[in-house]
Chain A
Amino acid sequence: MSLTAADISRIANLARLELAPAESERMLTQINGFFDIVEQMRAVDTSGIEPLAHPVASVRDIALRLREDIASEPNQREANQRSAPAVERGLFLVPKVIE
């Protein structure tokens, strides 16, 4: 299996990454080099095997916890916005999205 320049461009768009032409080209070579080592994995017979997400679930039941939907933190708006690129009157600013 080999990716094409069009694949790289499609994936970069999905990942919201702008790639310069030289970068795309390098990425194509490197990712194809990587998928060479992935091929051996595709041939493994995994029929009847359950996927493993939490590793300890291989030996005991692991239930992902949900906590009550109640506010547990004090209002940290100022601290949380201290590192924001653009803020006005306590709101995060983004480029206009609705005409």
Chain B
Amino acid sequence: MTQASSDLHHLSVAELARRLRERKVSAVETAQHFLARVRAHEALGAFVDLNEEVTLAQARAADQALAAGTAGALAGVPMAHKDIFVTKDFVSTAGSRMLAGYHSPFDATVVSRLGQGVAGGVPGAGMVTLGKVNCDEFAMGSANENSAVAPLGHSGPAPVRNPWDNSRIPGGSSGGSAAAVAARLAPAASGTDTGGSIRQPASFCGITGIKPTYGRASRYGMIAYASSLDQAGPMARSAEDCALLLSAMCGPDLDRDSTSLDVPAEDFARSLKDSISGLRIGIPKEFFGEGLAPDVRATVDAALKEYEKLGAKLIPISLPRTELSIPVYYIIAPAEASSNLSRFDGVKFGHRAKDYTDLVDMYKKTRAQGFGDEVKRRIMIGTYVLSHGYYDAYYLQAQKIRRMIADDFQQAFKACDVIAGPVAPTVAWKIGEKADDPVANYLADIFTLPASLAGLPGMSVPAGFGAGNMPVGLQLIGNYFSEARLLNAAHQLQQATDFHLRQPEGI
């Protein structure tokens, strides 16, 4: 064993990849180290499945590729996948009773591209899958309190805990991903963002996460929630790590995802080191209204001051339909969800009710038993707004305002290069605090929804600490295809601050 192996979990993805390439540490040793950490921190509830045999076999394959000089860019670096990506060798549950114990016959494109598969003729980056991490059921939720799956070491469903304060939620829906990275159980995790599900948990857990432009990352094998919004992205500790992971994740998947854009893969790390002197940062006044908690505001303001010191200019802008993004999103997303989730009928895969009188009764009982409350609510809302007589008033109207929201961003980007503001109005709340109030959860998504509806890239960057010494994220939103610039801005902040390097106590 090498002398540094007890510190492996403190290393960044970039540094781990370098040590693996230089053969200072083996992929097998690295995988074993992280597996032991996952086991030791089962109480967090972050992981829902491990398959140590497969993980170690992937690690051995990575070591062989590294020895042979045929290894991918991130060979041997372990990674956890949100349990919304289907995988052959691990369960794929989407946090739902409906898919308890389900194994997919194939791997999601994102999993293949990061791992050791081949997707669209492109060999993967060679990462090792550590296991699957918890999420809200079908990615519907902002607190990770909607999972119906028992995490490792638990006999039944249990909330994922925020590593900074175990009595608080980690955010959602990619809550397991954020908690795993913050607790150093994995150097990186995949996430998906429909209305903020990468950015908000990244903010609440003090890590870095990016959602690329809609259509950059393939949705093939990503269990669908709202198809016109769902987008995959990486969650890690630094912007540099996110850039490396995003470069591996993205790229056209034209035969398998009809909304995948025919835009070539990029090296998103290419401009990390560029100066941001003269960068015009738009500050939307609607993101700093009375709904924003004073502690979050103070932390975000301090981060913006830091940007000014780095030579950036703060430009006041307006995104006048920010508040409208809540009803618009909560019409469009449930509408698409009600359609996507109609496939869960107890016929071809997943749960089937035991007792029923006929086919329709089987559907109804299967779905009643298989889906949790939040999923049922969204299916009901979606079914209603798509039903005869209501389609124009709700769904079509929401899609029209969606265009107006996207146009507002284009107007704003005439005056600025990136937009900055808070990710969420508050820090992470206590487990159970909003569990019985779905509308309160919806309202808390206000700052992440606009970029989701517009399909713009957005990220959360650790900006400091607010109430209860809980992490606060700064949201950066860029224009379409400007991920490299966003990551550059985030990286430069991380060169001037150390918030992304802080770690929770007891980890």
**Stretch from B77-85, B167-175, B255-263, B285-293 at the A interface:** B255-263
Measured between alpha carbons, how far is A95 from B365 in the docked complex, in Å?
Answer: 13
**Residues A46-71 near B (CB distance < 8 A):** 46, 49-56, 58-59, 62, 64-65, 67
Closest residue on chain A to residue B382 by CB atoms: A15
Q: Interface 1/0s, chain A 24-52, versus B by CB < 8 A?
A: 00010011011011101110101001111
Contact of B383 among A15, A44, A80, A86 (CB under 8 A): A15
Q: Which residues of B pack against A, CB within 8 Å?
A: 102-103, 105, 213-215, 228-229, 254-255, 258-259, 261, 323-324, 326-328, 330-331, 338, 342, 345-352, 356, 358-365, 367-368, 371, 376-377, 379-381, 383-384, 387, 393-394, 396-404, 406-407, 410, 438-439, 442-443, 453-456, 480
B380 and A11 contacting across the interface, CB-CB below 8 Å: yes
CB B451 to nearest CB in A, in angstroms, measures 10
Chain A hits for B398, CB < 8 A: 41
Known: A17-B364, A51-B402, A76-B105. 7 other contacts (CB 8 A): A12-B380, A30-B377, A31-B380, A40-B327, A49-B404, A58-B455, A85-B346
Closest residue on chain A to residue B325 by CB atoms: A41
Closest residue on chain A to residue B440 by CB atoms: A33
Closest residue on chain B to residue A86 by CB atoms: B352
Measured between alpha carbons, how far is A56 from B402 in the docked complex, in Å?
Answer: 12
Contact of A54 among B215, B359, B376, B453 (CB under 8 A): B215
B439 and A95 contacting across the interface, CB-CB below 8 Å: no
Q: From DSSP, what is the main secondary structure of chain A's interface residues?
A: loop
Measured between alpha carbons, how far is A46 from B199 in the docked complex, in Å?
Answer: 30
CB A68 to nearest CB in B, in angstroms, measures 10
Answer whether A16 and B380 are a contact pair too, CB < 8 Å, given A52-B406, A59-B410.
no
Contact of A82 among B103, B361, B397 (CB under 8 A): B103
A51 and B384 contacting across the interface, CB-CB below 8 Å: no
B401 and A46 contacting across the interface, CB-CB below 8 Å: yes
B368 and A19 contacting across the interface, CB-CB below 8 Å: yes
Closest residue on chain B to residue A85 by CB atoms: B352
Contact of A94 among B102, B347, B383, B387 (CB under 8 A): B347
CB A17 to nearest CB in B, in angstroms, measures 5
Chain B hits for A55, CB < 8 A: 214, 228-229, 402, 406, 453-456
CB B191 to nearest CB in A, in angstroms, measures 19
CB A85 to nearest CB in B, in angstroms, measures 4
Contact of B399 among A51, A56, A96 (CB under 8 A): A51
Chain B hits for A81, CB < 8 A: 348
Measured between alpha carbons, how far is A84 from B387 in the docked complex, in Å?
Answer: 30
Closest residue on chain A to residue B342 by CB atoms: A16
Answer whether A27 and B364 are a contact pair too, CB < 8 Å, given A17-B371, A85-B346.
no
Measured between alpha carbons, how far is A96 from B368 in the docked complex, in Å?
Answer: 21
Closest residue on chain B to residue A60 by CB atoms: B480
B400 and A94 contacting across the interface, CB-CB below 8 Å: no
Contact of A15 among B259, B379, B402 (CB under 8 A): B379
A18 and B368 contacting across the interface, CB-CB below 8 Å: yes
Contact of A50 among B368, B403, B453 (CB under 8 A): B403
Chain A hits for B326, CB < 8 A: 37
Chain A hits for B367, CB < 8 A: 15-18
Answer whether A51 and B396 are a contact pair too, CB < 8 Å, given A17-B367, A41-B324.
yes
A83 within 8 A of B: yes
